[in-house]
Amino acid sequence: MFRTMRRMHREEGGFTLVELLIVVTILGILAAVVTTSLIGLTATAKTNACAEELRTVQTAVDALMAKNNITVVTAQAAATSTMTGVIGGGEALSPNY
């Protein structure tokens, strides 16, 4: 009777060390994957928040300019020709000293 109880006790035993190590390894891999994906989501969220903040600031500036009748004249072409020394046809200007 004691022999059968011992056999039953051995068969009903807990997990082996190998089984526990496999489970812990799998949990570690899953944790690494989840952490990596969360870091990517955090960076994307920060980028989106910054873009939204810029849109909000631009809207506020536009509203202020409209309220005070301010118009902006861009001088992109003039600034480019002044900085490069090239006008329209592509001729470089000599500095006038």
Could you tell me the residue ranges of all domains in the chain?
A: 19-84
Identity of the residue numbered 19 = E
Which of residues 86 and 13 earns the better pLDDT score? 13
The answer to whether 81 touches 87, Cβ cutoff 8 Å, is: yes
Contacts for 95 with CB less than 8 Å, ≥ 6 apart: 85
Bridge partner list, 86: 92
- Tens of pLDDT along 9-59? 556 678 899 999 999 999 999 999 999 888 888 888 999 999 999 999 999
Give, for 55, the enclosing helix (H) or strand (E): helix 17-67
- Quick one: pLDDT at residue 67? 93
> Both tokens of residue 11?
């068969």
